[in-house]
Amino acid sequence: MSESTSVSTTPTPRRAVVTGVAGFIGSHLAHTLLQAGTTVIGVDRRDPAADQTAAANLAASHGLPGYMHITADLLTCAIDPLLFDADVIFHLAGIPGVRASWGPHFGDYVASNILATQRVMDAATRMRVPRVVVASSSSVYGPTSGGPSVESDHPRPASPYAVTKLAEEQLCLAHAARADCPTDVVALRYFTVYGPRQRPDMFTHRALLAAITGQPLRLYGDGHQRRDFTYVDDAVAATIAAAFAPTDTGIVNVGGGSNASLLEVINIAKSLVGRDIQIHVEHARNGDVLTTRANSGRAHDVLGWRPTVDLHNGMRAQMQALTQPAYRAVA
Ligand code: NAD
Ligand code: UGA
The domains found in the chain, sorted by start residue, are 2-191+231-257+294-307 (3.40.50.720)
pLDDT at 326: 63
Ligand nearest to the CA of 108: 1
**Contact present, 162 and 190 (Cβ < 8 Å):** no
Kindly state if the Cβ of 195 falls inside 6 Å of ligand 1.
Answer: no
Active site positions, annotated: 161
* C-alpha Rg value of the chain to the nearest Å: 19
Check residue 215 and report its DSSP letter: -
Residue ranges in the chain modelled with pLDDT below 70? 1-9, 325-331
Q: Which residues contact 331 (CB under 8 A, 6 or more apart)?
A: 200, 205, 209, 322
Q: What is the pLDDT of residues 29-83, one digit of tens each?
A: 999 999 999 999 999 999 999 999 999 999 999 989 999 999 999 999 999 999 9
Q: What angle do CA 7, 12, 15 make, to 5 degrees?
A: 120
Ligand nearest to the CA of 100: 2
Q: Which residues contact 200 (CB under 8 A, 6 or more apart)?
A: 206, 209, 331
Between CA 32 and CA 74 the distance in angstroms is 23
Between CA 79 and CA 259 the distance in angstroms is 38
Pairing of strands 226-231, 258-261: antiparallel
Q: What angle do CA 316, 200, 5 make, to 5 degrees?
A: 40
pLDDT at 7: 45
Ligand 2 cavity residues, CB under 6 Å: 96-98, 137-139, 190-192, 202-203, 206, 218-220, 225, 227, 262, 285, 288, 292
Question: Considering the chain, what percentage of its residues have pLDDT values greater than 70?
Answer: 95
Closest to 93 (Cα-Cα) out of 76, 10, 152 = 76
Closest atom of ligand 1 to 230 CA is: 40
Kindly tell me the burial class for residue 178, based on how many C-beta atoms sit within 10 Å of its own C-beta (0-12, 13-18, 19 or more).
exposed
pLDDT at 10: 78
Determine which residue's CA is closest to atom 24 belonging to ligand 2.
203
**Contact present, 81 and 109 (Cβ < 8 Å):** no
Determine which residue's CA is closest to atom 13 belonging to ligand 2.
192
Determine which residue's CA is closest to atom 10 belonging to ligand 1.
20
pLDDT at 139: 98
pLDDT at 9: 62
Kindly state if the Cβ of 256 falls inside 6 Å of ligand 1.
Answer: no
- The SS3 call for residue 187 is strand
Kindly state if the Cβ of 112 falls inside 6 Å of ligand 1.
Answer: yes
- The SS3 call for residue 42 is strand
pLDDT at 324: 85
Ligand 1 centre from 23 Cα, in Å?
A: 6
Of 18, 138, 190, the residue with max ligand 1 atoms within 8 A of its CB, to mutate for a pocket test, comes to 190
Between CA 150 and CA 136 the distance in angstroms is 14
Ligand 1 centre from 161 Cα, in Å?
A: 12
Between CA 307 and CA 312 the distance in angstroms is 14
